[in-house]
Structure 1
Amino acid sequence: MMFLILRSCLPAVVAFGLAFCSVAVSEDSSSKKDASPNFIVIFCDDMGYADIGPFGAEGYQTPHLDQMAAEGMKFTDFYVGRSFCSPSRAALMTGCIPTRVGVGGNFGPHSKNGLNPEEETIADILKTKGYATACFGKWHLGHQPAFLPPNQGFDEYFGLPYSNDMWPFHPGVRHLPLEERLKKWPNLPLYNGLEVVNEAVQPEDQVQLTTQLTERAVDFIQRNHANPFFLYLPNPQPHVPLFVSDKYEGKTPRGLYGDVISEIDWQVGRIIETLQELNIDENTLIVFTSDNGPWLSYGDHAGSAKPLREGKGSNFEGGFRVSCLMRWPGVIPAGVVCKEVAGTIDLLPTIANFAEATLPERKIDGHDISKLIRGSENAQSPHEVFYHYDGKNRLVALRKGKWKLMFPQKYGTPIPGKGGLPGGGSKPHQLELSLFDLESDIGETTNLAEQHPDVVEELQMHAEEMRKDLGDGEESGPGRRPLGQL
């Protein structure tokens, strides 16, 4: 497949080597449409950077995603809010660094809190403009009724309240009697709205889930095609345990993981086909991405972050940087690669701009990237600096242009498992203050801190400014807001 890679027209010293240039697409191309645009966000779970064709997938084909990239834009430097499920979803929904909205780690079946309903989600913003809104898939921002999608701006919800491995079949408790397993991991429920329609999801139920979510998505589009809509499709797959329907089981040389991605690719194709059948394809922005990098502990049941370092849970690029495709015929130029820094926190302000909706009153961290999406002349990332906080609310890394500074921290390299079971822990390491040139060293192999003390000093000054807002670790800053509490 061929892509047009856009090179910056500015000197490298100004653009820090992050390139983007002009294409022959009018900035007001979408204004020719009378209707408000539709938005679809497909958010996979634990899908690695290299797990789809446009990013180098091996052992299986993704023809619909390949076509989506050929007809749209591939973002190579696209970041999530954190390399874990719940914080990453909080960032997407609110346009905020997860620490700002109080989401440190993952919510589970025993959690009593969730994303604060006082925060404005993408769905909340679009409801003010008359949009129909739906969430089909894994929510994972609190399973108590006050925190579920119907109370966070969504008209419709069907799916799981948290990860699909948070159930009595979890590898960590499989050896125990069922009574003991249920104390740690209660039965996994399936919701329709605020009603539990299956109190104990079984393996045979998960086999059909991707198909069910796709059917729900298609039905929602068909019912709402005459009016603007927002469809959020957070796939529970390819998070372990892996499940795939009969139509894709055993179809790829890569094994079960390849089968699962192939079914997700089918889902994308089915959605685009529906948009085309309803003649709303040219009025719909589709975003396809993942919540974090691959869960490398699961070996052959995990994806790949190549050529990035590490994966899920890590503060290296393999944890935070994800593959991303965007498609909007007539608005997004076809077959283009964007190397500018952007992320899920930018979706809320960008969607708000396209929908002519008002931004939240509370401070957000995302920026409008509509110029990047349109391929506007000399468009550059609106982020001077992109910040990464970890699950303990510590500022662990920041990126400016091609430079990434990582503060001293402990980390572990997972020992991969096999056959759906995790490996035996991880190899511990200690990282010193490190500066990486991501333009020439995407794998973060060479620490250049000693060679560029001026860059280190500049980035540390940016870090201090952010700490004045959000704090660092247990030291909270004035910009942090509370979780939702029962």
Structure 2
Amino acid sequence: MLLLARTIGLVFVTLVACRSLSAEDIHPPNVIVVLCDNLGYGDVGCFGSKRHRTPYLDQMAAEGMKFTDLYAASGVCTPSRAALLTGCYPPRVNLHVSDTGGAVLQPVSPKGLAPEEITIAELLKTKGYATTIIGKWHLGDQLPLLPTRQGFDSFYGIPYSDDMTPRPGKPWPDLPLMRDEVVVDAPVDLNDATKLYTEEAIRFITANRERPFFLYLPQAMPGSTRAPYASEAFRGQSQNGPWGDSIEELDWSMSEILKTLKQLKLDQQTLVVWTSDNGAPRRNPVQGSNLPLKGWGYTTAEGGMRVPTIAWWPGTVPAGTECHELASLMDLYPTIAKLAGAKLPGDRTIDGKDITPLLTGQPNAKSPHDAFFYYMFDQLQAVRSGPWKLYLPLDQVKGGWQDDKKAFAKVRLFNLVTDLQETTDVAQQNPEIVQRMLTFAAAAHADLGDDQNPGPGRRSAGHVPSPTPRVLP
């Protein structure tokens, strides 16, 4: 047993020693990625919550690895999901902004993930994987842009956010529940969404237990509505209203999936990654928590983009461990491809990096990233490298949810190992670090640019000329 001490809080974590694993040691695993919606960094017990009961996620962390410094590529959901599935920063795949200039795609949008992009699902299809998405898509609701056209054998869920329902000024269709490319219910009652998605996931796992499979489970909860949904068994049972109810049901959902894997003796053949698309948004009264991080979802503060992440794979991911190295949801793309033996596309830039050494607990494994970039819309607002986070000086700050736009008037530098709340600006004391970080930012801007001057590294989004609503046939 090894003892790992982290500077923050002087917390000691017991590590299970494991031998260094190479790609040749690992048989192609089944892969399950569970992506919660708007769930905060501090919303579950193993990441510090005292309000929500999450015993099964806590046990999952005890049996696997917690990633404490892993980031979504955006503080909002459409760009975050696009980045996860393509391994690219949102501006690279042109899903950093909607067709109307908003942060996320709206119903009946002509825009979506380009069919020319190669998703994780499409990579895994080349290796004989069964693939499905169960839950929230939000990367285009038009037929050519649906997940069934992006490498997924099947789709069961909603095409966009739970709060995108008809109301004054928004003549949207009733929120649809879809199976593959057909609406099967509208308006859908999301109270049973977590329960139904879990049952559907178990059916998929069971049906494909004899072959490799990829299950992408983007849960709808706790979601974007101010009164999240939960089934009758969980409604009113938590200490934190509907928000807590939905989280405790998500905990139950994960327990049912892990139990199924163990019963089918698939646990040692399956990598499970549980995470969130971005941080909890600011609400009044407060619902979610991003503590001990600063800030809220929909921002480039740590609380907006650093997401709670657990990796579980008995016998391969060392139990009871924590990884404090910089990583990103974009890294799932090349990591899963490597584990499956799938070849990455050679005709395009992939921003994610293989984090297999981190995932498997290889001794002295380090982050493969020299820098990580925090985008809001097309605007690069901050850079992280090692323990350092630099906020760039901006005349006008994009994103209506930022706490203090005036603070962006100058360069600010924070040490995220000693200052998680980003309270002490140490830019003046560290001019060499500031300059190095500015060099990283200049390179990113030269590659991706902004909407006024798009860089050469950008690719086109998908576009449907005459969009139609998804409605019951």
TM-score by length of 1: 0.88
Separation (CA, whole Å) in 2 of partners of 1:309 and 1:279: 41
Higher mean displacement: 427-436 or 19-28: 19-28
Separation (CA, whole Å) in 1 of partners of 2:355 and 2:327: 7
Partner-residue secondary structure (3-state), 1:234: strand
Match of 1:142 in 2: 140
Match of 2:222 in 1: 238
Separation (CA, whole Å) in 1 of partners of 2:24 and 2:438: 42
Match of 1:406 in 2: 391
Match of 1:24 in 2: 17
Q: Please tell me whether the aligned partners of residues 371 and 385 of structure 2 are also in contact (alpha carbons under 8 angstroms).
A: yes
Alignment partner of 1:163 is 2:156: no
The CA RMSD measured in Å over matched residues stands at: 2.3
The structure-2 alpha-carbon separation of the partners of 1:190 and 1:32, relative to structure 1 and needing over 3 Å to count, comes to same
Q: Please tell me whether the aligned partners of residues 2 and 15 of structure 2 are also in contact (alpha carbons under 8 angstroms).
A: no
The structure-2 alpha-carbon separation of the partners of 1:307 and 1:219, relative to structure 1 and needing over 3 Å to count, comes to same
The structure-2 alpha-carbon separation of the partners of 1:411 and 1:117, relative to structure 1 and needing over 3 Å to count, comes to closer
Match of 2:372 in 1: 386
User: What are the superposed Cα offsets for residues 143-176 of structure 1, whole Å, 9 maximum, x if unpaired?
Assistant: 00111110000001000100000002xxxx4xxx
Separation (CA, whole Å) in 2 of partners of 1:197 and 1:258: 29
The structure-2 alpha-carbon separation of the partners of 1:5 and 1:200, relative to structure 1 and needing over 3 Å to count, comes to farther
Which amino acid in 1 is paired with 2:55? P
Alignment partner of 1:200 is 2:184: no
Separation (CA, whole Å) in 2 of partners of 1:142 and 1:327: 30
Q: Residue 22 of structure 1: CA displacement?
A: 8.4
Separation (CA, whole Å) in 1 of partners of 2:95 and 2:62: 36
Q: How does 1:80-479 map to 2 (within 5 A)?
A: 80-105=72-97, 106-168=104-166, 173=167, 180=168, 183=171, 185-201=172-188, 205-241=189-225, 242-300=228-286, 302-361=287-346, 362-391=348-377, 393-409=378-394, 410=397, 429-431=406-408, 432-479=410-457
Separation (CA, whole Å) in 2 of partners of 1:56 and 1:413: 28
Partner-residue secondary structure (3-state), 2:219: coil
Q: Residue 216 of structure 1: CA displacement?
A: 0.4
Q: Residue 309 of structure 1: CA displacement?
A: 1.2
Match of 2:471 in 1: none
Separation (CA, whole Å) in 2 of partners of 1:321 and 1:80: 6
The structure-2 alpha-carbon separation of the partners of 1:404 and 1:220, relative to structure 1 and needing over 3 Å to count, comes to same
Partner-residue secondary structure (3-state), 2:283: helix
Which amino acid in 2 is paired with 1:189? P
Q: Residue 5 of structure 1: CA displacement?
A: 6.4
Which amino acid in 1 is paired with 2:441? A
Partner-residue secondary structure (3-state), 2:28: coil
Separation (CA, whole Å) in 2 of partners of 1:483 and 1:348: 19
Q: Residue 60 of structure 1: CA displacement?
A: 2.3
Partner-residue secondary structure (3-state), 1:288: strand
Gaps of 5+ in 1: 13-18, 174-179, 415-424
Q: Residue 220 of structure 1: CA displacement?
A: 0.1
Q: Please tell me whether the aligned partners of residues 74 and 374 of structure 2 are also in contact (alpha carbons under 8 angstroms).
A: yes
User: What are the superposed Cα offsets for residues 256-290 of structure 1, whole Å, 9 maximum, x if unpaired?
Assistant: 21111000000000000000010010110000000
Separation (CA, whole Å) in 1 of partners of 2:376 and 2:183: 33
Alignment partner of 1:68 is 2:60: yes
Which amino acid in 2 is paired with 1:151? R
Separation (CA, whole Å) in 2 of partners of 1:427 and 1:454: 26
Match of 1:43 in 2: 35
Separation (CA, whole Å) in 1 of partners of 2:113 and 2:279: 22
Q: Residue 355 of structure 1: CA displacement?
A: 0.3
Partner-residue secondary structure (3-state), 2:442: helix
Separation (CA, whole Å) in 1 of partners of 2:13 and 2:289: 26
The structure-2 alpha-carbon separation of the partners of 1:4 and 1:389, relative to structure 1 and needing over 3 Å to count, comes to farther
Separation (CA, whole Å) in 2 of partners of 1:20 and 1:402: 19
Partner-residue secondary structure (3-state), 1:274: helix
Identity over aligned residues, as a percent?
Answer: 46
Q: Residue 474 of structure 1: CA displacement?
A: 2.1
Which amino acid in 1 is paired with 2:384? R
Separation (CA, whole Å) in 2 of partners of 1:367 and 1:459: 19
Which amino acid in 1 is paired with 2:443? E
Q: Residue 412 of structure 1: CA displacement?
A: 7.9
Which amino acid in 1 is paired with 2:58? D
Separation (CA, whole Å) in 1 of partners of 2:48 and 2:112: 36
Match of 1:419 in 2: none
Separation (CA, whole Å) in 2 of partners of 1:58 and 1:239: 20
Separation (CA, whole Å) in 2 of partners of 1:88 and 1:385: 18
Q: Residue 413 of structure 1: CA displacement?
A: 8.8
Which amino acid in 2 is paired with 1:355? A
Alignment partner of 1:53 is 2:45: yes
Partner-residue secondary structure (3-state), 1:237: strand
Match of 1:418 in 2: none
Separation (CA, whole Å) in 2 of partners of 1:401 and 1:427: 25
User: What are the superposed Cα offsets for residues 16-55 of structure 1, whole Å, 9 maximum, x if unpaired?
Assistant: xxx999852123488667x531000000000000011110
Q: Residue 471 of structure 1: CA displacement?
A: 1.4
Match of 2:100 in 1: none
User: What are the superposed Cα offsets for residues 52-80 of structure 1, whole Å, 9 maximum, x if unpaired?
Assistant: 11101122210110010000000110000
Partner-residue secondary structure (3-state), 1:136: strand
Partner-residue secondary structure (3-state), 2:285: helix
Separation (CA, whole Å) in 1 of partners of 2:252 and 2:117: 34
Higher mean displacement: 138-147 or 305-314: 305-314
